[in-house]
Amino acid sequence: AIQMTQSPSSLSASVGDTVTLTCRASQDIKNDLGWYQHKPGKAPKLLIYGATSLQSGVPSRFSGSGSGTDFTLTISNLQPEDFATYYCLQDYDYVWTFGQGTKVEIK
Amino acid sequence: EGQLLESGGGLAQRGGSLRLSCAASGLTSRSYAMTWVRQAPGQGLEWVAGILSGGLTDYADSVKGRFTVSRDNSQSTLYLQMNSLKGEDTAVYFCAHRRGPSDGLDVWGQGTTVTVSS
């Protein structure tokens, strides 16, 4: 199965900061990657699909980039509601795989 | 936008079985794919299984041969039959919907909890 590696595993940031999360695939997955936000006790939420497309209703401070094996999620002007765990998910292979997550915490 | 509602979770014995259901409502178009994702206590998200609109299925290695995903399109319901349960299957199980082949998982249920005891 394709391995997805996210970094960092956690980070601390302040409201208003810009943060960049990375996800690396163990092989070329074209642009078949999504980013999801997950808060405890809630359902995960789709932010980005196709590596760069912003899901309808998601604030424009979220953006995705990359293709092939290296991908990034950038959150600009971090808001209090953005503190959560973020996961990448590859759907290139028949067997999909998540990264291990990046927890974004309040500094 | 639609809603998904999981049911069927609960306590099961090691080696036992459970069947999860996921009822869809308000989804205006037939979904391209439906999937199951789980989160074990203190762990991250894990993709478990998926089924395409044509019926093709795939599974994570951790559940292959033990879990079966199916769907009843007439009743807009997704199922996950879980057999030979192990302690490591203890998790919150979410179902999720994918509208098209280039889309992400855009609609999620709230999850149902499965606990496997010894």
Query: Which ranges of chain A does DSSP label H, i.e. alpha helix?
Result: none
The token duo for B96 is 């999720």
Task: Note the pLDDT tens digit of each residue in B16-43.
Answer: 999 999 999 988 666 789 999 999 999 9
Is A43 in contact with B94 (Cβ distance < 8 A)?
A: yes
Contact A105, A10 (CB under 8 A): yes
The token duo for B71 is 């769907």
Nearest to A66 by CA among A94, A105, A104, A99: A99
**Closest by Cβ to A98, choosing from B46, B50, B111:** B46
Q: Is the pLDDT of residue A48 over 90?
A: yes
User: Which of A2, A4, A88, A91 to mutate to test binding with chain B, by most B CBs within 10 Å of its CB?
Assistant: A91
Cis peptide, bond prior to residue A59, ω within 30 of zero: no
Query: What secondary structure letter does DSSP report for A78?
Result: -
Which residues from A are below 8 Å from B when comparing CB atoms? 1, 34, 36, 38, 42-46, 48-50, 55, 85, 87, 89, 91, 94-101
Contact B36, B50 (CB under 8 A): yes
Nearest-angstrom CA–CA distance, A55 and B57 = 26
3-state SS class at A39: coil
Q: Is the pLDDT of residue B10 over 80?
A: yes
Contact A23, A5 (CB under 8 A): yes
Q: What is the pLDDT of residue B41?
A: 96
Q: What percent of chain B has pLDDT over 70?
A: 97
Task: Note the pLDDT tens digit of each residue in B88-113.
Answer: 999 999 999 998 888 999 999 999 99
Segment 87-106 of chain B within 8 Å of chain A by CB: 94, 96, 102-106
